[in-house]
Structure 1
Amino acid sequence: MNQTSWGIIGAARIAREQVIPAIARAEAGEVVAVSSASGKAGQYAEELGIARAYDSHDDLLADPQVESVYIALPNGHHAEWIRRAARAGKHVLCEKPLVLGPAELELVEEAATAGNVVVAEAFMYRYHPQLEALRDLLADGTLGDPVAIEARLHFGLERAPESAGATDIRLDPALGGGSLLDVGCYPVDLFGLLTDAEPDEVMGTAVRDHPEGVDTRFAGTLRYGDVLASFDCSFDSPFRGSATILGARGSVTLSDVFRADRMGGVGAMVVETEAGTREMAPTGDQYAAQATAFARQVRTGHGDDGPWRWTTYACRTLDRLAAAATPAH
């Protein structure tokens, strides 16, 4: 069976609520340790039944019973701890965005190669069956040649008053904050997955209405050959994570393309062609499938070419979008 022993770096909510339970559901191994620099590891481990807790991430990496780590730290710390984990011989599943730019990606690749370890980005949506169904629709000609892709991902982030003196990590530029990196990375990753390419052109615009100067809303337009792609994202709207792919013969809309888990794992796809309209509801456990895929990579000794290629595309494209953005107020 494809299993690995896991250490959790960062006592984060996403690990507690999503990743750790998914590892158990997938039978992808056992979580044997957790570390937190904030002193929360002991209580976290006790509540979740994890055997060992460390107040130092380096101590967790020195644990010989930990084969793989899941990194749930702020964006700005990803590259450093991926490299440290690789040097310690640990395989790495890291939250998105994997790194903050191409320079960090190159360093991470070098560390993974030198350590002979698997490094994967935790884009769980890639593993939901609706993505395979979508790619099948594009491959079998149902939609005709792709013309345009539209995607959006928004959620409401409660902002503390300036007088409170506390800044959410997603609003902290030093930690890789901003809506483009935090949520815009999903549409950008989707574009790379569907086109299997980097864009020929990018344009971006941002709203930066927070004192720290990060983008709280972002919109981008990209061209992949003859295919146009556009997206918007923000911290300022009720949740919406949808995508529409327009083809020469029809279209398909996915209303929960990124977070089908919010709907009990049931995807919602509406296909419209000259033959009529039909609904599809692929069902799956994207977090568990992600854990299974990662454990399989660890056991086989190599990563999957597709996901790493898409990670590379997204990293470079996000960097280009950030550079192209003109602040809008």
Structure 2
Amino acid sequence: MVDGLRWGVLGAAGIARTAMIPAIRRAGAGEVLAVSSASGRAPGYAADLGIARAYGSHEELLADPEVDVVYVALPNTEHARWTVAAAEAGKHVLCEKPIVLGLAELDAVEAAARRAGVQVAEAFMYRHHPQLRRVRELLDGGAIGELVTVESSFHFTLARTEPPNIRLRRDLGGGALNDIGCYPVDLLGWLTGSEPDDLGVVSHRDEPGGVATRVSVTARYGALTANLHCSFDAAFRAEARLIGSEGTIHLPDAFRADRRDAPARVVVERSEDREVLEVDGDQYGAQATWFAERVRTGTADPEHAALTRRTAATLEGIARLGDL
């Protein structure tokens, strides 16, 4: 356990139940001490998961002096608000992606963290899988020559129900771009270290005024071109293909390697040669360990923060251009 770090979870969410809480425990990144829910679900949630304290409001959890760090697992529109509130309460914050819905919110979040002297970071778990380090090594080593274009997709099928899933609610920051399209956008920001020079956006909505359930983006980063796709209407796919002048790197498990009961695959293809590299990793566990270390040492990760800003700026630009 990292110096007895005590976590609170804002929101009785599925992602916390199935992924983040088990990862904190599995990685020895601290104790999950408390959970809060404004909908009354906290007591049952806490009982199911063996969490000692359940609060009926997020304010109550933030007032708990024994909670050191909070994981924000609320709807997208609530991320910035409660991250700021948690920082002002003196809590370190790991917030689910997207941490903000625009640069103005990110400025407010960063300012609150500076004033309070706490660590705040975005929970993009795929960033912590070691397959990315292997990809960087391959690119830097010239494995596929010059990187020319990138194709990346994240899709899954989302049932239309009543009441609608929060991913389909515009008032809660839903839509395919914010929910899953942010991953390919973030990957491009990581690959290039920049924001795009040009963007094009097309989308589809189930009904006028609803969220965009299918989004495709074309982008140019200097000489590099990219095509990014996401939807709630296609069979599961969360992949990227990096196409170079001398070959291709295919990442079939780019964003959800945790779904495989096996290592992630990095497929390198050059002319007649095809090599499948297996890279083991626990991206949720690594994320929990990484953030616990940030808290323990009191040191931020400037590369992570810079990537969060690039992604927020790009998502804002896409949303503006596509009226999303």
Q: What is the TM-score normalised by the length of structure 2?
A: 0.97
Number of matched pairs = 323
Q: Quick check: 1:24–1:30 contact (8 Å CA) kept in 2?
A: yes
Q: Quick check: 1:204–1:326 contact (8 Å CA) kept in 2?
A: no
Query: What amino acid is the match of 1:78?
Result: H
Structure 1 Cα separation of the partners of residues 154 and 300 of structure 2: 28
Match of 2:223 among 222, 226, 236: 226
1:210 aligns with 2:207: yes
Structure 2 Cα separation of the partners of residues 151 and 29 of structure 1: 34
Shift of 1:265: 5.0
The answer for the alignment partner of 2:2 in structure 1 is 2
Match of 1:261 among 222, 242, 258: 258
Structure 1 Cα separation of the partners of residues 166 and 121 of structure 2: 22
1:92 aligns with 2:96: no
The answer for the alignment partner of 2:118 in structure 1 is 117
Match of 2:191 among 189, 194, 198: 194
Shift of 1:223: 0.6
Query: What amino acid is the match of 1:268?
Result: R
Residue by residue over 1:162-192, the C-alpha shift from the partner in whole angstroms, topping out at 9 and shown as x without a partner, is xx4x121111111101101111000000000
Identity of aligned residues (%): 53
Structure 2 Cα separation of the partners of residues 75 and 91 of structure 1: 19
Query: What amino acid is the match of 1:195?
Result: T
Aligned with 2:304: secondary structure?
helix
The answer for the alignment partner of 1:58 in structure 2 is 59
Structure 2 Cα separation of the partners of residues 290 and 265 of structure 1: 19
Change (3 A) 1:157 1:136: same
Structure 1 residues without counterparts, runs of 5 or longer: none
Change (3 A) 1:100 1:326: closer
Structure 2 Cα separation of the partners of residues 28 and 243 of structure 1: 30
Shift of 1:139: 1.1
Aligned with 2:212: secondary structure?
coil
Structure 1 Cα separation of the partners of residues 242 and 38 of structure 2: 43
The answer for the alignment partner of 1:71 in structure 2 is 72
Aligned with 2:264: secondary structure?
coil
The answer for the alignment partner of 1:183 in structure 2 is 180
Q: What is the TM-score normalised by the length of structure 1?
A: 0.96
Shift of 1:2: 3.4
Aligned with 2:20: secondary structure?
helix
Range with bigger deviation, 41-50 or 286-295 = 41-50
Q: Quick check: 1:206–1:326 contact (8 Å CA) kept in 2?
A: no
The answer for the alignment partner of 1:37 in structure 2 is 38
The answer for the alignment partner of 1:312 in structure 2 is 309
* Matches for 1:241-280 after TM superposition, within 5 Å: 241-264=238-261, 266-274=263-271, 276-280=273-277
The answer for the alignment partner of 2:234 in structure 1 is 237
Q: Give runs of ≥4 in structure 1 deviating > 4 Å.
A: none
Query: What amino acid is the match of 1:27?
Result: G
